[in-house]
Amino acid sequence: MLKTKKSERIAAVTKILVDNPNVLFNLDYFSEKFNAAKSTLSEDILTIKETFERFGLGEITTIPGAGGGIKYKPKWGNEPTKDFLIDICSKLKDPKRIIPGGFIYMTDIILSPALVSRIGEIFADRFSHKNPDYIVTVETKGITLAIMTARAMNIPLVIIRRNVKVTEGPSVSINYLSGSSQRIQTMSLPRRAIKEDTKILFIDDFMKAGGTAKGMIDLMSEFNAEVVGIGVMVATRDPVNKLVDDFFSLLTLNSVDTQTGKIDIIPNVNF
């Protein structure tokens, strides 16, 4: 194979790293693939790292030693994240989104791939120090946010179902009280979906009273899994006392006035 130029190696290495967030690549892998000395590649990677820092494009981490390597971690920084959330708020403030009952239509946001990838990266950055083994969500609307968070963290997703599916084998089911409607609901998860004694990060689109999150914690305890974080895109301000204490929401929905069409929603500024 022909030698590669620095600019070519940088294009190729950047592509591979960015395509695989939080995947650790051995220097030997790049060295063989691009027919270049490891010392040369180390310099290339330093260039990528410094460029990413300079332009706020994410973090390149080098882990030294035998099991070490290089990985790319998505990172947006506080200001760009705040601007991004303000932008989503202004989309959500459109009075046409009000649905009878005082709900707001957010489905288009969670189904826009560009927006959900970015939100997934924000969650991943926020919770990476908790080192979860799985992302967990409850079907249906949290799934796109959850898989994008899973992608950014390079860990598997687990979807809790509302009812037992025969195609997934033996399952554990629990009943729980939905916080807002006070109805008894069911959640279930196949036995083989989660290994015992693991750490999980719960991601969902919306939290009102926190009944779903509370039910999820109960279900996880059946798997001896510890919930190390809860991240939701939107939480309502009321009720102030939710059924779970510790959660992180990107946006807070203060109120929806169906008379005037005013939707009061604000970004969280604590990153």
| Interface residue with its own copies, options 85, 88, 89, 193 (CB under 8 A) | 193
By beta-carbon proximity to its own copies, the closer residue of 48 and 227 is 48
Does position 156 interact with its own copies (CB under 8 A)? The reply is yes
| Interface residue with its own copies, options 36, 41, 52, 211 (CB under 8 A) | 52
Does position 10 interact with its own copies (CB under 8 A)? The reply is yes
The encoded tokens of residue 225 equal 């899994």
By beta-carbon proximity to its own copies, the closer residue of 14 and 249 is 14
3-state secondary structure of 156: coil
Task: Name the percent of the chain in helix, strand, coil, to the closest 5.
Answer: 40, 30, 35
Does position 39 interact with its own copies (CB under 8 A)? The reply is no
Strand order in the sheet with 134-138: 157-160, 134-138, 199-207, 226-236, 248-257, 262-267
What span, in angstroms and rounded, lies between the C-alpha atoms of 50 and 60?
A: 9
> What residues form DSSP beta bridges with 263?
256
Letters for 129-148 (x = contact with its own copies by CB under 8 A, - = none) are ----------xx--xx--xx
Beta strands in 68-198 (DSSP E): 69-73, 98-99, 103-104, 134-138, 157-160, 171-177, 184-190
Applying the rule CB under 8 A, the residues between 232 and 251 that interact with its own copies are none
| Interface residue with its own copies, options 66, 166, 184, 269 (CB under 8 A) | 166
Does position 47 interact with its own copies (CB under 8 A)? The reply is yes
Q: Whole-number minimum distance, CB 147 to its own copies, in Å?
A: 5
Does position 266 interact with its own copies (CB under 8 A)? The reply is no
Cβ distance 234 to 248 under 8 Å?
no
By beta-carbon proximity to its own copies, the closer residue of 181 and 246 is 181
Q: Whole-number minimum distance, CB 202 to its own copies, in Å?
A: 15
| Interface residue with its own copies, options 3, 11, 59, 180 (CB under 8 A) | 11
Among 91, 145, 85, 83, which Cα is nearest to 117's? Answer: 145
By beta-carbon proximity to its own copies, the closer residue of 107 and 175 is 107
User: Any idea what the Cα angle at residue 85 is, between residues 82 and 87, rounded to 5°?
Assistant: 110
| Interface residue with its own copies, options 40, 42, 177, 190 (CB under 8 A) | 190
- Contact region with its own copies (CB under 8 A), list: 80-88, 157-165, 220-228, 260-268: 157-165
Does position 200 interact with its own copies (CB under 8 A)? The reply is no
Does position 183 interact with its own copies (CB under 8 A)? The reply is no
Query: What DSSP state is assigned to residue 168?
Result: G
Does position 12 interact with its own copies (CB under 8 A)? The reply is yes
What span, in angstroms and rounded, lies between the C-alpha atoms of 36 and 44?
A: 11
Applying the rule CB under 8 A, the residues between 73 and 102 that interact with its own copies are 99-101
The encoded tokens of residue 95 equal 């009075």
Cβ distance 265 to 235 under 8 Å?
no
Does position 178 interact with its own copies (CB under 8 A)? The reply is no
